[in-house]
Amino acid sequence: MRNESLTPEALPESLAGFVPATTPETSKHADGTLVDKYGRHVTYIRLSITDRCDFRCTYCMAEEMTFLPRAQVLTLEECLRIVNTFVGLGVTKVRVTGGEPLVRHNAVWLMEQIARLDGLKELVITTNGSQLERYAAPLRDAGVKRINISLDTLRADRFKEITRVGDLAKVLRGIDAARATGFERLKLNAVMMRGRNDDEFIDLVQFAVDKGIDVSFIEEMPLGEIGHGRQETYFSTEEAIARLQTRFTLLPSAESSGGPARYWRIPDTQTRVGFISPHSHNFCDSCNRVRITAQGELYPCLGNNDAIRLLPLLRAHPTDDAPLRQAIMHTMGIKAKGHDFTGQMNAPQVVRFMSMTGG
Ligand code: SAM
Ligand code: SF4
């Protein structure tokens, strides 16, 4: 691995004005991995390959969205260059997300290329499932190991309300196609919303049990300005667990997928039930990830607006990855200690939508 100088003078022009808050010693650990100034190892990246989506989920997007012009979006080759550079810095897990990653033309090509990178252990994706009927087998053949599929409701009319345009039957067929294809693991993701789907948590878990897959419940996060007040719909993990316990036995599990979810097992089933609780259980101490948006911004923290723009760097140095590596290492120095969404539910603390940063 090359050992570039990390002095501010050595920063490329596109990072002008950016004051590195770190030194080489704090931004890159001796073992070759990325370490932030709080000692957290970054081994996982989430890459959004498009800001576009075929759904308009009410908690994620506004009804009218303006999407990025194509020239401002990373090409798939640029995506690969970024991932390759991170893998060279010790990243072992990549999640491809969006927007909806499977609406991006040639997304499967990118997965194939990423899966082949030396040093990468796990390639996973998050999808809304709308295209899975068609892409489950090609994704598995490309080397994708696990898929997270968003599913907030099992009722077709509600599904249409929540996604504004989605077709539940198509997503359910996509889930079955993925099950038939044989991924290592499939997981459903449901955003918890009081008055919108909280009466279905038990049904969603039963559905996961019947299908032999996992399910995670996510507390809604205040990302982007949307149509409803989030305080009204906020539903806590604690209350959800109590509700599920009226039907299921939940055994706490020490298992982890390396992420913020805390898991429970249902005895005599294949199913793990996870909770991602950015409000009630802040997971920042063990954060091991950074996010890259479709326009090439590197966000070291989901709950914070600090970012570095990688796209100008990539385009200014088409054949030299050293400036990109430097920028990545410097970004470790600005990774926030944590986020705090408390009291921020109605006014978005983070101005971008989840579809921008990637879930
Ligand atoms: N389109 C894909 C999907 O829906 O799975 C991938 C991108 S989506 C932004 C990733 C995940 O973020 C989804 O599981 C979605 O439910 C979740 N999400 C979006 N907005 C959210 C919010 N405000 N709070 C919590 N989760 C959110
Ligand atoms: Fe699209 Fe996923 Fe956001 Fe829904 S949650 S609008 S499917 S990006």
Q: HSE of 99 in the Cβ direction (CA atoms, 13 Å)?
A: 23
Q: Does some domain include residue 122?
A: yes
**Residue 353: predicted pLDDT:** 59
Nearest-CA neighbor of 328 among 6, 74, 48? 6
Do the beta carbons of residue 23 and residue 81 sit within 8 Å?
Answer: no
Query: Is the distance from the beta carbon of residue 214 to the nearest atom of ligand 2 less than 6 Å?
Result: no
Residue range 277-331, pLDDT digits in tens = 877 666 788 888 999 999 999 999 877 788 999 999 999 999 999 999 999 998 9
Residue range 79-116, pLDDT digits in tens = 999 999 999 999 999 999 999 999 999 999 999 999 99
Nearest-CA neighbor of 182 among 115, 137, 123? 137
Do the beta carbons of residue 103 and residue 132 sit within 8 Å?
Answer: no
Phi-psi region of 28 (alpha: psi -120 to 50; beta: other; left: phi over 0): beta
Query: Is the distance from the beta carbon of residue 153 to the nearest atom of ligand 1 less than 6 Å?
Result: no
Q: Amino acid identity, residue 224?
A: G
Q: Which two tokens stand for residue 238?
A: 């604690």
Integer-rounded Cα Rg, in Å, for the chain is 20
Q: Is the pLDDT of residue 22 over 50?
A: no
Residues 6 or more apart whose CB falls under 8 angstroms from that of 180 comprise 136
Residue range 332-356, pLDDT digits in tens = 888 888 866 655 545 455 556 566 6
Considering Cα of 191, then 194, then 195, then 201, what sign does the dihedral take?
A: positive
Q: Is 192 exposed, middle or buried (0-12, 13-18, 19+ CB in 10 A)?
A: buried
Ligand nearest to the CA of 151: 1
Residue range 186-231, pLDDT digits in tens = 999 999 999 999 999 999 999 999 999 999 999 998 766 655 666 7
Atom 12 (ligand 1) nearest CA: 359
Residues 6 or more apart whose CB falls under 8 angstroms from that of 136 comprise 147, 174, 177, 178, 180, 181, 183
Query: Is the distance from the beta carbon of residue 117 to the nearest atom of ligand 1 less than 6 Å?
Result: no
Q: Does some domain include residue 3?
A: no
Q: Does some domain include residue 237?
A: yes
Alpha carbons 86 and 12: distance in angstroms, whole number: 18
Phi-psi region of 74 (alpha: psi -120 to 50; beta: other; left: phi over 0): beta
Q: Does some domain include residue 1?
A: no
Mutate to test the pocket of ligand 1, among 51, 58, 59, 60 (most ligand atoms within 8 A of CB): 60
Q: Which atom of ligand 2 is nearest to the CA of 128?
A: 7
Q: Is the pLDDT of residue 260 over 80?
A: no
Mutate to test the pocket of ligand 1, among 57, 149, 341, 351 (most ligand atoms within 8 A of CB): 57
Q: Does some domain include residue 251?
A: yes
Query: What's the structural domain count of the chain?
Result: 1
Mutate to test the pocket of ligand 1, among 146, 353, 354, 357 (most ligand atoms within 8 A of CB): 354
CATH code for position 350: 3.20.20.70
Alpha carbons 47 and 292: distance in angstroms, whole number: 5
Order of strands across the sheet that contains 308-309? 251-253, 262-265, 272-276, 214-219, 185-192, 146-150, 122-127, 93-97, 44-48, 289-292, 297-299, 308-309
Q: Does some domain include residue 34?
A: yes
Average pLDDT, the chain: 86
Q: Does some domain include residue 299?
A: yes
Q: Does some domain include residue 53?
A: yes
For residue 339, how far is its CA from the centre of ligand 2 (angstroms)?
22
Q: Is the pLDDT of residue 4 over 90?
A: no
Q: Which two tokens stand for residue 284?
A: 């920042």
Query: Is the distance from the beta carbon of residue 100 to the nearest atom of ligand 1 less than 6 Å?
Result: yes
**Residue 130: which domain range?**
8-357
Q: What residues are paired with 185 via a beta bridge?
A: 146
Do the beta carbons of residue 76 and residue 112 sit within 8 Å?
Answer: no
Q: Is 242 exposed, middle or buried (0-12, 13-18, 19+ CB in 10 A)?
A: exposed
